Amino acid sequence: MQYKQFCPVAKASELLGDKWTFLIVREALMGAKRFNEFERGLGRISPSMLTTRLNELVINGLMIRKKIPGQKGHEYFLTQAGKDLNPLIRQLGDWGMRWARGQMENSDLDVELLMLYLQRSVKTDKLSGDETIVQFNFTDLKKLGKWWLVIHHGHVDICIQDPGREVDVWFVTDLRTMIEVWMGDLTYKKAIREKRLKLIGPPALTGNVTNWMANSVYAGIPRAIEI
């Protein structure tokens, strides 16, 4: 869309105002490079829409597309113009935490997105040994109710089928509770005390989970009604 105004807000909106654009930039800032990586973080986007938006970002100079050496397909990298959106994305998230958190409906509770974020949140250097297996049992989900994080030599993989390895720590909870905990709306201790969450495993892992798995970067930002 073109607003035909010289105002810099209007000009920026012409480049960034389309649906999905900010979320694609968000994923790129969080490390997504390949088409399937963007799809994982943008669960409900269609492949054709993602292709369109990526092409627009390339045309507008916010991304560059490079052929994957020796493979089919391409990778997408933010240009300096794209990287400079980082503080804007962060401020947008801050605003959302203050003014839009109360509008989180059940349809917004995306287990695949949560698990992607939990995968990204593991502090592998805080774990002992070469491998740690973490299992999540979401008691309210009939489908995709069990997930595993396989942490091996500093690399974290997500599994939706039992990897067949001994589990070190279990999270037993419902989806909303786990999202609220990760987002910082609810502490682990309170969730456990209210029997909304069970943590099973050695105290070194369950005693203070945030030692080895970070909360959202937006955790701790109060809603506007609390200010």
Q: Residue 161: which of 145, 138, 173 has the closest Cα?
A: 145
How is residue 223 annotated by DSSP?
P
Structural domains in the chain?
Answer: 8-84 (1.10.10.10), 106-211 (3.30.1050.10)
Asked if 73 and 34 count as a contact pair (C-beta separation under 8 A), the reply is yes
Model confidence at 226: pLDDT above 60: no
Model confidence at 107: pLDDT above 90: no
Q: How far apart are alpha carbons 154 and 131 in whole angstroms?
A: 8
173-184 pLDDT, tens digit each: 999 999 999 999
Q: Residue 197: which of 138, 117, 144 has the closest Cα?
A: 138
Model confidence at 26: pLDDT above 60: yes
Distance of CA 59 to the CA centre of its chain: 26
Please count the other Cβ atoms lying within 10 Å of the Cβ belonging to residue 149. Answer: 23
30-65 pLDDT, tens digit each: 999 999 999 999 988 999 999 999 999 999 999 999
Alpha carbon distances (Å) from 207 to 117, 132, 137, 189 = 21, 16, 19, 9
H or E stretch including 199?
strand 197-200
